[in-house]
Amino acid sequence: MLQAVTLSCRRGERRLFSDLTVKVEPGTLLAIVGENGSGKTSLLRIFSSLLPPEDGSVLWEGEDIQQLKELYSGQLTYIGHLNGIKDDLTPLENLMSAMALAGEACSQTEAQAALEAIGLKRPIYRLPSKVLSQGQKRRVALARLWLSTRPLWLLDEPFTSLDAASTGIVTERLHAHLQRGGLGVLVTHQEVDLPTDRLQRLRLTG
């Protein structure tokens, strides 16, 4: 279970939110919505431990994530608005090195299966990533979700530059993750097509 307790966040002079308390139960997804600049990404980065909150704390299974440090990192998969892929490497190499780095090393066959699941077929995953379109690069980053065994997924605008079919595929994958008892936090502008009992909305007003 992931909890935010009286969180507040300030970027420069601006206070983005304060006294924010929210709870994400296993099997559910928290969708953070709000206008541009309302602090959605900052909140997600606080959840990921990349950004320390100005005040308040984030608890994972009842323990402060600032204390858990690497133990907490081992529980989550974070996909930010930057894809984290190298232009000079192929999608296959990118995916395999990202998984190895995250401590979830996978075989080439598993990585190929993940890329195919998200619609990147054979000739594409052997090309250098610099020739891919924005949507295809996004899919390379999201392919990690097919290999991740971590309970907590933190996704920043996962559907950006994805076509309708790929959005559907990713949503299905999210649903499967929730059904297995996983948790998710999602920053999004779009409607998420998930059952309402699994979805919790948080609107930031900025």
Helix (H) or strand (E) holding 113: helix 108-117
- Token pair, residue 129, equals 């990533």
Distance CA 131, CA 145 (A): 23
157 lines the binding site for another protein (CB under 8 A): no
Min dist CB 97 to another protein, Å, is 4
Residue 9 touching another protein (CB under 8 A): no
Binding mask 114-143 for another protein (x = CB under 8 A): --------------x---------------
Binds another protein (CB under 8 A): choice among 63, 87, 163, 172: 87
Q: In what order do the strands lie in the sheet with 29-34?
A: 76-79, 152-156, 183-187, 29-34, 199-204
Nearer to another protein, 144 or 177 (CB): 144
Burial (Cβ within 10 Å: 0-12, 13-18, ≥19) of residue 30: buried
Take residue 141 and report the two structure tokens written for it.
């980053």
Taking CB under 8 A as the rule, does residue 86 contact another protein? yes
From the list 185, 200, 199, the residue with the least C-alpha distance to 48 is 185
Contact flag: residue 185 with another protein (CB under 8 A): no
> Of 51, 59, 117, 199, which one interacts with another protein (CB under 8 A)?
51
98 binds another protein (CB under 8 A): yes
**70 lines the binding site for another protein (CB under 8 A):** yes
Angle at 21 between CA 15 and CA 23, to 5 degrees: 140
**Interface residue with another protein, options 13, 88, 191, 197 (CB under 8 A):** 88
What's the token pair of residue 88? 């000079």
Is residue 64 at the binding interface for another protein, with CB under 8 A as the rule? no
Per CB under 8 A, which region of 15-23, 65-73, 116-124, 158-166 contacts another protein?
65-73
Considering beta carbons, is residue 97 or 160 the nearer one to another protein?
Answer: 97
Residue type, 17: F
Whether the Cβ atoms of residue 139 and residue 119 lie closer than 8 Å to each other:
yes
CB closer to another protein, 98 vs 194: 98
Contact 57, 50 (CB under 8 A): no
Q: Which residues bind another protein (CB under 8 A)?
A: 48-52, 70-71, 73-74, 76, 78, 80-89, 93, 97-98, 100-103, 105, 128
